[in-house]
Amino acid sequence: MPWLISAPSSPSYLSVRLHNNTFFSARVFSERSRGLLIYRRSQHKSNSKNCAYYTVKCQIARVNEGPSSSPATLINEPHKYFDQAIITVRAGDGGHGAILNMPNQRAGKSQGKHEKEKTRRKSLYKRDFDGSLILPMGGHGGDVVIYADEGKDTLLEFHKKGRYNAKRGGNVDAMGVLTSQLHNGLAAPTLRIPVPVGTVVKRKRGKLLADLSHPGDEVLVARGGQGGISLVEMPEHRRKKLMALTTNVMRDDSDKVLVLGQPGEEVSLELILRIVADVGLVGLPNAGKSTLLAAITLAKPDIADYPFTTLMPNLGRLDGDPSLGARMYSSEATLADLPGLIEGAHLGKGLGRNFLRHLRRTRLLVHVVDAATDNPVNDYRTVKEELRMYNPDYLERPFIVVLNKIDLPEARDRLSSLTEKIMRIGSDGASSKPEMSSDNVLQLLSSEAPHADVSSPGIQSKDEKEKEIEDYPRPLAVVGVSVLKGVRINEMLKEIRAALKKCRDPDEALKLGARS
């Protein structure tokens, strides 16, 4: 077996190293006792045209343990944990019913006439419309509901606390005698667990339960147990008479189990956060993505002159266009600033590929390029190539290019030639794919293997042929700015709003698709 597998970050996705030291990404199909069955996604290096899907048996050379989410690693490496968590929830058990006696049974034959009358009046039992006795039941156990809360940003807290138990229902609080004062046991409250908007809830290694993509969306993940019923105990010779009043008559000791409340459901769940944003900012580290976000929204991301300042996606809200007055132009949008990509990110280099899945729900990409580096066009290609390697669909998505840092002379002097070169990369004939609807997302997610990403090769179209970067659509616009110095920010905003409008407006989207 000539294959070696290295450093799996998740059990279902691996980097495979050949003996000649080339790499490719592969997804585990199924585990077998003496190896793994995988198939090939795409070639890391240029001969990607020869890419083929096939199954191969290979042996594990080295399997790194998955990162442990101790409090220290949570603080130091939040980017590894913020968007994925596994929790166990348990709904509450039902409360118990009771085994009851009829009151006169205890009073006995020696009871005086006066006392019997008193008991009779007290015992105006609760009855159904047909006259049958209503016996109290144990309270329902608390359900567990997960809901999307705008106040939550990450799933980090679920690494600190991974187990959630709802309360059990109350018991029928009985002294053993049936009276009209008996009540049902109290139903336990529903345990409501808030998660960030955009969280996908799945059963661990199982089916998709919900995609909580809007604030307030919720899903019932575990049902509380039903409360136990109550039974009336009677000597055998009097049972027949009582059975005319109620069916809940205890016949033998085995009936006692009916009194016990049902256990609540317990499930292990996988929570996967897929950020909900209209616009995704992509680019190499240090290109100025966070500065851009801070310049046009109220977001306050960390900004510093070293790569990977951004560890987790930051979100910011773009206001409507003031020039449209009271109508507040509907391009109001959410922007997500993703950590910088470097060459090999799709193989786990830098901060890795995990962030790329957060582009899934975006409608527009803003590709930020530092125009003052040695070779901005090369930088541009690097990021495009990483996007393509991760999911070719991302290159079909409408995008604009922001050439940043034009306040620096080395950028300013070559702005027009850079704009021209970048505009030439891409094809006019390629069509933009329509926006992914939430139904499509659900469909894709439900076909996902556990831990696999939505963009994993298994769900890419089978006849997908490898394309070069030149085969994908060109940018809708290339605009030079200095987000730090506030130069040409309005021009950039105009382009972003126009592009958003095109993505939103179905007619415009069609035109965009048919662009030729």
End-to-end CA distance of the chain: 48
Could you say which residues in the range 162-191 bind ligand GTP, by CB under 6 A? none
CB of 138 to ligand GTP, least distance (A): 55
Closer Cβ to ligand GTP, 111 or 309, answer by number: 309
What lies within 8 Å, CB to CB, of 337 at 6+ separation is 281, 289, 290, 292, 293, 299, 301, 310, 313, 314, 315, 316
Binding mask 87-126 for ligand GTP (x = CB under 6 A): ----------------------------------------
Binding mask 326-355 for ligand GTP (x = CB under 6 A): -------------xx---------------
CB of 322 to ligand GTP, least distance (A): 23
C-alpha distances out from residue 312 to 149, 315, 369, 472, Å: 19, 10, 20, 28
C-alpha distances out from residue 355 to 152, 387, 443, Å: 18, 11, 21
Distance between CA 127 and CA 110 in Å, rounded? 28
Kindly state the tokens that stand for 347.
């193989």
CB of 289 to ligand GTP, least distance (A): 4
CB of 479 to ligand GTP, least distance (A): 13
Stretch that binds ligand GTP, among 216-224, 268-276, 298-306, 505-513 (CB under 6 A): 298-306
Q: Is 145 left (phi over 0), alpha (psi -120 to 50) or beta?
A: beta
CB of 301 to ligand GTP, least distance (A): 7
Q: Which residues pair with 208 in a beta bridge?
A: 202
Q: List own/partner pairs for 64-72 with CB under 8 A and 24 or more apart.
A: 64/7, 64/8, 64/9, 66/9, 66/10, 66/11, 69/159, 71/160
Answer for which of 303, 469, 498, 510 binds ligand GTP (CB under 6 A) is 303
Answer for which of 308, 415, 442, 504 binds ligand GTP (CB under 6 A) is 308
Residues listed for the chain: 516
Answer for which of 309, 330, 427, 431 binds ligand GTP (CB under 6 A) is 309
CB of 285 to ligand GTP, least distance (A): 3
User: Site for ligand GTP (CB under 6 A): how many residues?
Assistant: 25
Closer Cβ to ligand GTP, 91 or 341, answer by number: 341
What lies within 8 Å, CB to CB, of 390 at 6+ separation is 345, 346, 353, 356, 455
Distance between CA 227 and CA 96 in Å, rounded? 6
The CB density around residue 52, as the number of other CB atoms within 10 Å, is 8
Stretch that binds ligand GTP, among 82-90, 207-215, 227-235, 280-288 (CB under 6 A): 280-288
Answer for which of 226, 310, 362, 432 binds ligand GTP (CB under 6 A) is 310
Q: Is 45 left (phi over 0), alpha (psi -120 to 50) or beta?
A: beta
Distance between CA 267 and CA 150 in Å, rounded? 25
CB of 302 to ligand GTP, least distance (A): 7
- With beta carbons less than 8 A apart as the criterion, state whether 403 and 484 touch: no
Could you say which residues in the range 367-426 bind ligand GTP, by CB under 6 A? 404-405, 407-408
Closer Cβ to ligand GTP, 299 or 483, answer by number: 483
CB of 436 to ligand GTP, least distance (A): 25
Kindly state the tokens that stand for 387.
């996007």
Closer Cβ to ligand GTP, 307 or 426, answer by number: 307
Q: In what order do the strands lie in the sheet with 477-480?
A: 314-318, 333-337, 279-283, 364-370, 399-404, 477-480
Stretch that binds ligand GTP, among 12-20, 235-243, 269-277, 279-287 (CB under 6 A): 279-287
Q: Which residues pair with 365 in a beta bridge?
A: 280, 399
CB of 419 to ligand GTP, least distance (A): 16
**AA letter at 54:** Y
Kindly state the tokens that stand for 170.
């109350």
CB of 304 to ligand GTP, least distance (A): 6
CB of 316 to ligand GTP, least distance (A): 12
Could you say which residues in the range 470-489 bind ligand GTP, by CB under 6 A? 482-485
Closer Cβ to ligand GTP, 54 or 306, answer by number: 306
- With beta carbons less than 8 A apart as the criterion, state whether 193 and 137 touch: no
Determine if 286 is a binding residue for ligand GTP (CB under 6 A): yes
Kindly state the tokens that stand for 370.
């530092």
Closer Cβ to ligand GTP, 196 or 301, answer by number: 301
CB of 300 to ligand GTP, least distance (A): 12
Q: Which residues bind ligand GTP (CB under 6 A)?
A: 283, 285-291, 303-305, 307-310, 339-340, 404-405, 407-408, 482-485
